[in-house]
Chain A
Amino acid sequence: MLSRSDRSTPNEPDLLSADARVHAEIERIVREEHGRVVASLARRFGDLDVAEDAVSEALLAAVERWPVDGFPPNPGAWLTTTAGNKAIDRIRRESRRDAKHQAAMMITDDTPPEPTGPVEDDRLRLVFTCCHPALAPEARVALTLRMLGGLTVAEIARAFLVAETTMAQRITRAKAKIKAANIPYRVPEASDLSERLNGVLAVVYLVFNEGYLAGSGDDPMRIELTEEAIRLGRVLRELLPDEGEVAGLLALMLLTDARRAARFAGGELVTLDEQDRGSWDRTLIAEGHALVRECLERVAATGGRPGQYQLMAAVNAVHTDAADARDTDWSQVVALYDQLMAVARTPVVALNRAIALAELDGPDVGLALVDEVALSGYHAWHTARAELLRRLGRSAEARTEYDAAIAATENPAERAHLTRRRDQIVR
């Protein structure tokens, strides 16, 4: 981190780069601290709008002051204090205009400034508010990225390929509903926690998937979204260290993201069996494997049943454990999909199980199972059919399926991959 001594004077030759460094550092701090500061202000003032506006003002002040004064010893505390003062200023201004706000003048922060423990962290309250089931799913995603992730409305709009005004409206409407309907700013009761937590994890996983295999747009992958999802996953893990599904989701994202560099080559998607396994990120894989082991131990100790994220993470652990695609322990993959079918029986899980079973029992068995899954129009279903038909020597049918798969995806890298596969088939 930069300190006062790093400050450049106009005579120094690296003035520009120092300036750029300061701004990069400010951006890093903002990302790191935004959720915490908004959460603490939201708790103190009981109003997301007040919190968000005050934090924006504090960030402007930081951008102005820090390059001149140097970084404060505790930037998070500086932002919280500054934003708190801005919020009080605003409430004072408004209370002068409006007698109803007089009571708000009384507000004092009587809570300790430092969180007393992970569960007391205000960010946990905030995430449950942002992912409340009474909000529309796309609003949950947007609010979480805005409030917890500290992404700007423009950044979120760009990531989801919608107009900035549309995204701004979505967020404004969600905040208005939180206020009007009195959606609480609270961690749910123990009896509701696991269901509500599933809603939170679904939001984070949706952000990850939207980044990992972008459904539309020119980029095959939107790294800012996968990175943000992993960061949110780490925050949740820090806040709820004993929740198996939280660990499972983080492991799943890490083990998937570890293969990022190998997934695209020359603008084309590279499938798991053809990936350069030497380019997989070993650090992320080690971290993911450790989390999966921890989940297994927890399940063994408590006698519980692992949830869907833990099982999907375990599938990815098996894949990333194989030095070569031919070494993949398919019987274990199938066994995990069997368990997954028991806890989350969805067509996509059934499809993946069928694909894994084809590796174990042959393409004819796999194809029969794929055909039972009602996913016509879904690109991965057509791709699975195309590959299995090809292995069975049914070339003409395989070609038709590749065409259907290409038509069903807008991801440019996936289209390039499928087009090449299709064109390998001799007419």
Chain B
Amino acid sequence: MTQYMLAVHDDGSDPYAPDELQTVYDTVDKFNQQLQADGYWVFGGGLKPIEAATTVDATGDDVITTDGPFAESKEYLGGFWIIEAPDLDAALKIATEASKACRGAVEVRPFDAE
């Protein structure tokens, strides 16, 4: 079994129309329940907008705390799932369902097992 992160990116614009939002919540909720029932679920959730991010850097002598994201980018992580699947083919199948449910492209990345 390999753990994968399924990441959904968000470009800051409102991705869903107001009437679409409830449908997406419902389909994602249903998808999450299915993931749990199938035993693939590890963790998952949506993130608050990037304005809510704080960056902490303790690599130097002083701890530097800054408002905002680590790197300026057009797209930020909007939400993610962590799943456990037998192999990439299984993970890609789950990602297909995830993409349909949240109506966004999903990036599949394996966790480093070392």
Q: Which residues of A contact B (CB under 8 A)?
A: 132, 134, 180-184, 186, 188, 192
Tell me which residues across on chain B come within 8 A of A183, comparing CB atoms. Answer: 87-89
B89, A180: Cβ atoms under 8 Å?
no
Secondary structure class of chain A's binding surface, majority of residues: loop
- The answer to whether A182 and B92 have CB atoms under 8 Å apart is no
- Leading 8 A-B pairs by shortest Cβ distance: A184-B87, A182-B2, A183-B88, A181-B110, A182-B87, A181-B88, A184-B89, A182-B88
Q: Can you list 15 A-B pairs, Cβ within 8 angstroms, ordered by A?
A: A132-B88, A134-B88, A134-B92, A180-B110, A181-B88, A181-B110, A182-B86, A182-B91, A182-B110, A183-B87, A184-B88, A184-B89, A186-B87, A186-B89, A192-B89
Q: In the bound complex, what is the Cα–Cα distance between A181 and B4 (angstroms)? A: 8
Chain B 83-114 interface residues, beta-carbon cutoff 8 Å to A: 86-89, 91-92, 108-110, 112
In the complex, residue of chain A having the shortest beta-carbon distance to the beta carbon of B110 = A181
Distance of A396 from chain B, by nearest CB (Å): 50
Taking Cβ atoms with an 8 Å cutoff, the residues of B that contact A are 2, 4, 86-89, 91-92, 108-110, 112
Task: Determine if A188 and B110 form an interchain contact, defined as CB atoms under 8 angstroms apart.
Answer: no
A186 CA / B112 CA spacing, docked (Å): 22
Chain B contacts of A134 at CB under 8 A? 88, 92
Residues of A within 8 A of B88 (CB): 132, 134, 181-184
How far apart are the CA atoms of A132 and B91 in the complex, in Å? 14
How many whole Å from A287's CB to the nearest CB in chain B? 35
Chain A residues contacting B91 (CB-CB under 8 Å) are 181-182
Chain A contacts for B109, CB-based, 8 A:
181
Set of chain B residues within 8 Å of A192, measured between Cβ atoms: 89
Shortest Cβ distance from residue B83 to the other chain A in the assembled complex, whole angstroms: 12
Q: Which residues of A contact B112 (CB under 8 A)?
A: 180
From B1, which residue of chain A is reached at the shortest CB distance? A182
The complex places the Cα of A184 from the Cα of B109 at a distance, in Å, of 15
Q: How far is the CB of B27 from chain A (nearest CB, A)?
A: 22
**Cβ of B4: which chain A residues have Cβ within 8 Å of it?**
181
Distance, CA A181 to CA B110, complexed state (A): 5
| Complex Cα spacing A132 to B87, Å | 13
Residues of A within 8 A of B108 (CB): 181
Task: For the complex formed, measure the closest distance between the CB of B14 and the CB atoms of chain A, giving whole angstroms.
Answer: 31
Cα A183 to Cα B108 with chains together (Å): 12
What's the least CB distance linking B53 to chain A, in Å?
A: 28
A137 CB → nearest B CB, Å: 17
Q: How far is the CA of A183 from the CA of B87 in the complex (A)?
A: 6
Q: In the docked arrangement, what's the CA distance between A66 and B2, Å? A: 43
Q: Give A179 to B103 CA distance when docked, in angstroms.
A: 29
B88 to chain A, nearest CB (A): 5
Q: A182, A184, A188: which has the most chain B beta carbons within 10 Å?
A: A182
Please indicate which of the listed interface residues B2, B88, B110 has the most CB atoms of chain A within 10 Å of its own CB: B88
B59 to chain A, nearest CB (A): 26
Complex CA–CA separation, A184 to B85 (angstroms): 11
Question: Which residues from B are CB-within-8-Å of A184?
Answer: 86-89
18 more contacts with CB within 8 A, not counting A134-B88, A181-B4, are A132-B88, A134-B92, A181-B2, A181-B109, A182-B2, A182-B86, A182-B87, A182-B88, A182-B110, A183-B87, A183-B88, A183-B89, A184-B86, A184-B88, A184-B89, A186-B89, A188-B89, A192-B89
